[in-house]
Amino acid sequence: MPDLKDELAALRIDREPDRRGAARAVGWLLVVVVLGGGGFALWRVVTRERPIEVEVQTISERAVGTQAAVLNASGYVTARRRATVSSKITGKVVEVNVEEGMAVREGQVLARLDDVTPKAALALAEAQAEAARRGVKESEVRASEARLSLGRVMQLVKDQLATAAEVDKAQAEVDSLAARISLAGEQVRVAERQVELERTNLDNTIIRAPFSGVAISKDAQPGEMVSPVSAGGGFTRTGISTIVDMRSLEVEVDVNENYINRVKDGQQVTAVLNAYPDWEIAAHVITTVPAADRQKATVLVRIGFEKLDPRILPDMGVKVTFLREAAGDAPVAARPVTLAPKAALRVEGEQTYAYVVDVNGVVDRRAVKTGGVDGDRLEVVAGLSAGERVVVSPPPTLASGTRVIVKP
């Protein structure tokens, strides 16, 4: 007889397969959700509008009382007094007393050359001069003796004890010795000039600074040969050091000959060094060189700094702005003037606008009202403020709300 307990166990319903199916369904649902979210994100990335790369400039201001610009140009800082110091003679360098950046004064010894040979030549010349002087003394003694002999002979002639021929002979001896003394004197002067020459050659072995300034290069080392002219197939130096007088710094710019009529002597100029773009330096036009470059169609203009500064160095690049001459009765601006680059402004009909880039890189098209011209910039009466960034030469596809990337 079957056991009742076994029969009841056989009637039990096994629910384990249902739980496995539910878990499997939940897993597939999660997979579908993940794939769907990933696909949506990928679709957003692919279909999202890509930022446009643009060039921007910052809106600037012209200070109160500052004149508007009439011309912009670029050039370099130059020194009117600059020299590569060399020797007057060819010789071997034995000592160099200058380094780059060292301040030197006029007459300071920069280098010395080997002076063994010049010293020996000077000693020889001095000995020759001394020998010539002693030769003069000897001739003077003999001349004195010859005059005494002449006197005795003339006395003998008076006593009729000597002939006229003996007188003539004694007189000739006196005249000969006088001429010899004169020649010896000239030889002494020649020897003394030779001594001076050898002293000059010895002094030429010492190379001194021709003026006070700053050494910007050291071109020779001890042991090298130097010469005032190029020699030795490039193995002979022609200079010891280059010295610049920092008090003679100025700016040289090439101005297009079409705009040279805007430049006047004494005209006020603002200079900005490429190394310090936020530093405006007051300057003025020294002169316009009265000659044009036929190939470049430019005219050289010299510009002087109102006040020199240690930061101004030779051969630095500089941008200059020639300022408009103030009219006698023209009123001075009571407040700063906002300036925008011409390339950032666009005109449609009677409306002028610019694209302003915010901190998030989004463009906003903004209407602008302009005034006068200031070089390559326009005076902005309304619509823009100093410090804002505007797109320069905006592309045709640029529109308000577009996201952009600023070119470095």
pLDDT of residue 45: 45
Question: Per CATH, which fold does 86-114+205-244 belong to?
Answer: OB fold (Dihydrolipoamide Acetyltransferase, E2P) (2.40.50)
Sign of CA dihedral 50, 53, 57, 58: positive
pLDDT tens across 209-248, in order? 999 999 999 988 999 888 887 655 556 778 899 999 999 9
Residue with tokens 């020199």: 308
Is there a contact between 96 and 222 (Cβ–Cβ < 8 Å)?
Answer: yes
DSSP designation for 403: B
Q: Could you tell me which residues are beta bridge partners of residue 22?
A: none
125: number of Cβ within 10 Å: 20
Q: Could you tell me which residues are beta bridge partners of residue 271?
A: 281, 320
Which residues, 6+ apart, have CB-to-CB distance to 108 below 8 Å? 97, 208, 209
Q: With bands split at pLDDT 50, 70 and 90, how would you rate the model's confidence at 158?
A: confident
pLDDT tens across 350-376, in order? 888 888 988 888 888 888 888 777 667
Q: With bands split at pLDDT 50, 70 and 90, how would you rate the model's confidence at 39?
A: low
Cα→Cα distances 349→364, 368, 372, 394, Å: 19, 13, 19, 17
Cα→Cα distances 186→130, 135, 138, 190, Å: 13, 11, 15, 6
Question: Per CATH, which fold does 52-65+333-406 belong to?
Answer: 2.40.420
The least confident of 116-130, 151-165, 266-280 is 151-165
User: Token digits for 168?
Assistant: 């003539």
Report the alpha-carbon distance of residue 239 to residue 230 in Å, rounded.
10
Of 191, 187, 184, the C-alpha closest to 126 is 191
Query: When comparing pLDDT for 395 and 5, which is higher?
Result: 395
Report the alpha-carbon distance of residue 292 to residue 300 in Å, rounded.
7
Highest mean pLDDT among 51-60, 196-205, 319-328, 395-404: 196-205
State the average pLDDT over residues 165-175. Answer: 77
- Going from N- to C-terminal start, the domains of the chain cover 52-65+333-406, 69-80+248-323, 86-114+205-244, 116-203
Report the alpha-carbon distance of residue 406 to residue 52 in Å, rounded.
8
Q: With bands split at pLDDT 50, 70 and 90, how would you rate the model's confidence at 43?
A: very low
The least confident of 59-63, 83-87, 232-236, 277-281 is 232-236
pLDDT of residue 47: 42
Question: Per CATH, which fold does 69-80+248-323 belong to?
Answer: Elongation Factor Tu (Ef-tu); domain 3 (2.40.30)
State the average pLDDT over residues 112-124. Answer: 92
